[in-house]
Amino acid sequence: MGGGMASQLGKNGFEVTCFDPIPEISSRMATLGATTAASAGALAKACDVIILSLPKAAVVEAVMAEILPDIQAGTVILDASTSEPATSQAMCAKGAEHGFAFVDGPVSGGPEAANAGTMTMLLGGDADAIETMRPALDIITSKTVKVGDSGAGHAAKIANNMLCAANLVLVGEAIRLGQAAGVSPADLLEGINAGSGRSGVSEVNFPKWVLNDAFDSGFTMGLMRKDVGLALDLAKNSGVDLCGFEQIANIWLNASTDISDSDDFNAIVKHNPKGV
């Protein structure tokens, strides 16, 4: 995802500096015209707008601890990872103390959208800091939605991915139900997508990656399992009962262990405990 964003920014005239601890990724960025920094701290010293694209909240916290002494006053940091609200709020507080802004901006659309500059970004944080980044945001996204203050972007993204995970399981079950009643998957989806049961999963995922057996969205089972866990954790910490989603979560986290973490996340539709 980070590579796609960096590529789009470079193609559109931005001076891009990148750092990744994996040398092969840094080399790939250099071939796309980016300057590669020797360390995360060196990047922080050189840039007044920094975009993080990292695997999880713990990595965000570790990277921020590493670069904190080198962040320049007035810098705006955008966290495009799928992280946790509490992490963003803690980093925002550090920013207030040290003179930089920290905005959470998790993205939807996957690697294909990152490479095309058509991602959707859910933003949480200071409105002025967001506007400072607007020229870059206009390049790497096709739509941004400010959903609230610090942490709100990650909360909204967790809720979004929770629904996506649930819809994949439920549309898969609807397909099996239709087949048992003699309705083909393609015809059933045409009917669903003309009615109130339609969703991004039924309109995009199934035609693009499931019905054709492609299963190559670029987003893995392991990543969605992580996001399912984030939804459960957020609910627990917020005192919210997700009794319906907990059954869906059990399918992702426990009942579908025959599907590898490295498989495409749409492969959850292959889970069929009764073999129907």
Catalytic residue numbers? 157
Selection from 245, 259, 238, 86 nearest residue 161 by Cα: 245
In single-letter form, the type of residue at position 239 comes to: G
> Can you say how many angstroms the Cα of residue 43 is from the centroid of all Cα atoms in its chain?
23
C-beta of residue 44 within 8 angstroms of C-beta of residue 98: no
Residue 151 is given by DSSP the state T
* Alpha-carbon span 83 to 88, nearest angstrom: 8
Instruction: Return the structure tokens found at 110.
Output: 């996957």
C-beta of residue 32 within 8 angstroms of C-beta of residue 5: no
C-beta of residue 38 within 8 angstroms of C-beta of residue 65: no
* Alpha-carbon span 253 to 9, nearest angstrom: 36
Which residues fall within 8 angstroms of residue 186, CB to CB, at 6 or more apart?
A: 211
CA distances from 189 to 101, 167, 185, 195 (A): 45, 13, 6, 10
C-beta of residue 82 within 8 angstroms of C-beta of residue 230: yes
* Alpha-carbon span 174 to 206, nearest angstrom: 12
